[in-house]
Amino acid sequence: MPRGRYSLHDPHDHTPLGEEHFHCAPGPSGWRYVSQITTPAGDHAGSVDLALDELGRPIRLELHAASWQIRGAALDGVTWVRTDPSGVHATEGNVGAHAFTGTSPAFLVATARLLRLSPGAPATRVRLVAFTDPVLAPRTLDQSWALMNSEAHATDNGPLTVDEYQVSALDTGEQHTVHLSGDVVLSAPGIELEDLETPPSTLP
């Protein structure tokens, strides 16, 4: 069960946004990721609880940020309920999308697991619903993902396979690179792996 800490920063001006303390593990039905998010000052800022089925679809998502809450799952595309801080004005959403995304590194692992790309294969288009900080506002976006390279690196614990993905935003044409090893993000825009207590899990 990988357990560690990511630092989060603005991908454009590198302003520190805080840290995400996480643990994740494959399970009998798929994969689960749980984290607590703190501000740069160390105060609690939110949490992520994401569970995927064996095909990589989100069977449960629970996000908390600034008193806002999202509960969602893959249902007729993806469906979610967003609750305001007072708890009075809950709103439901549904979009014909493949999965969810957001600032948490969990969503990069989840999308890669959903797509199951092969090195050198053509880029695959995916429609996602992003929940944007700080109020978890939903936004539908289209990306294209391609697995550019998959390379084994020697470590003290045996070979570590690193996958390099090119991710393109189809509305802006902006491209960036994501490096994953199993169920851990090694680097991505706005995300740095600062501490990892146990090696990444190999996802089948």
Q: What is the dihedral of CA 47, 53, 55, 61, to 10 degrees?
A: -30
**Tokens standing for 25?**
């593990």
Non-local CB neighbours of 173 within 8 Å, separated by 6+ positions = none
pTM above threshold 0.85: yes
Give the pLDDT of residue 85.
83
Q: Do the domain assignments include residue 204?
A: no
Q: Do the domain assignments include residue 203?
A: no
Give the pLDDT of residue 204.
66
Amino acid (1-letter code) at residue 202 = T
Which of 117, 118, 80 is closest to 100 using CA atoms? 80
Domain span including residue 117: 3-198
User: What are the two backbone dihedrals, phi and then psi, of residue 107, each rounded to the nearest 5 degrees?
Assistant: -70, -30
Q: Do the domain assignments include residue 145?
A: yes
Give the pLDDT of residue 140.
97
Distance of alpha carbon 82 from alpha carbon 45, whole angstroms: 17
Give the pLDDT of residue 46.
95
How confident is the prediction along the chain (204 residues), in pLDDT tens digits per residue? 899 999 999 988 999 999 999 999 997 789 999 999 999 999 999 999 999 999 999 999 999 998 899 999 999 999 999 998 887 889 999 999 999 999 999 999 999 999 999 998 999 999 999 999 889 999 999 999 999 999 988 877 778 899 999 999 999 999 999 999 999 999 999 999 999 998 899 876
Amino acid (1-letter code) at residue 129 = V
Our count of domains for the chain comes to 1
